[in-house]
Amino acid sequence: KRLILIGPPGSGKGTQSPLIKDEYCLCHLATGDMLRAAVAAKTPLGIKAKEAMEKGELVSDDLVVGIIDEAIKKTSCQKGFILDGFPRTVAQAQKLDEMLQKQGVKIDKVLNFAIDDAILEERITGRWIHPSSGRTYHTKYAPPKVPGIDDVSGEPLIQRKDDTAAVLRSRLEAFHRQTEPVIDYYSKKGSVANLHAEKTPEEVTAEVQKVLSS
Ligand code: AP5
Ligand code: ZN
């Protein structure tokens, strides 16, 4: 399967991805995770992306299209992939169409994590992550066994630099202005499934499974 996950910050894309990935043996390609790793490693890509990310603005289309182009060509992703956080502009969606056309494949489903903005601040400000694995926790909704510690590795958890109420406002603005049109773009192709992303993680997982098995 080849899936796209679209939704505002905190809508649950990163939470649902590992579950879908394991069930269908797919590659999880999250542009946000890749960019954060590049920023941490101070690579040329990371140096270019850092400022926009800290302000909650989108990184340039060319940068993210480049990393996705490389990733989907990898043999490990030939069976299928989950694009989490990409495409985020109509220009990125058009580029993706070109890339997939060259490979003779297409997107099966676009999962739209529909949710009200009002819920997102609590989700974002309560999030803790384990950077190397991408595991995500929430102080209230998905607490780790020991506060501040990853359940699996025992390593410390961190908060993302852009997970403040102020930066969230810019990220939401970018979502409504630049990413919502991408949902319309795929709706016209008939590939969008709308999820109730405000429900519990388990309920959202059940909705995803229903969509993917139909
Ligand atoms: P990115 O990393 O993609 O961030 P985002 O889109 O803002 O999404 P989040 O990761 O914040 O949300 P999520 O939906 O994954 O939520 P999660 O499941 O963790 O992008 C970061 C930045 O990189 C961008 O701002 C931009 O600068 C740049 N970038 C990335 N891709 C780009 C692109 N294509 N083009 C240009 N720039 C790009 O859940 C959040 C919290 O809620 C967690 O604590 C979780 O435990 C909890 N939670 C999850 N589900 C539930 C539930 N159902 N009920 C209760 N709590 C829940
Ligand atoms: Zn995420």
Report pLDDT for 134: 86
Distance CA 38, CA 95 (A): 22
Q: Which of 63, 73, 82 is nearest to 15 (CA)?
A: 82
Report pLDDT for 175: 98
121-163 pLDDT per residue, tens? 999 999 999 988 889 999 999 999 999 999 999 999 999 999 9
172-183 pLDDT per residue, tens? 999 999 999 999
**Helix, strand, coil percentages for the chain (3-state, nearest 5):** 50, 15, 30
What is the set of active-site residues?
A: 13, 88, 127, 160, 171
Report pLDDT for 73: 85
Count the residues in the chain: 214
74-129 pLDDT per residue, tens? 877 778 999 999 999 999 999 999 999 998 999 999 999 999 999 999 999 999 99
Q: Which parts of the chain are beta strand (E)? A: 2-6, 27-30, 81-84, 109-114, 127-130, 135-138, 192-196
Report pLDDT for 214: 82
Ligand 1 atom 7 nearest Cα: 9
Distance CA 12, CA 93 (A): 21
Report pLDDT for 99: 94
| Dist. CA 27 → ligand 1 center (Å) | 17
Q: Which parts of 36-157 are beta strand (E)? A: 81-84, 109-114, 127-130, 135-138
37-78 pLDDT per residue, tens? 999 999 999 999 999 999 999 999 999 999 999 998 887 777
Task: Judge if the beta carbon of residue 130 lies within 6 A of ligand 1.
Answer: no
Report pLDDT for 51: 97
| Dist. CA 2 → ligand 1 center (Å) | 19
Any idea what DSSP says for residue 209? H
> Which helix (DSSP H) or strand (DSSP E) does residue 184 occupy?
helix 180-187
**Ligand 1 atom with the shortest distance to the CA of 197:** 53
Number of C-beta neighbours around residue 25 at 10 A: 9
Contact (Cβ atoms closer than 8 angstroms) between residue 5 and residue 13: yes
**Ligand 1 atom with the shortest distance to the CA of 7:** 14
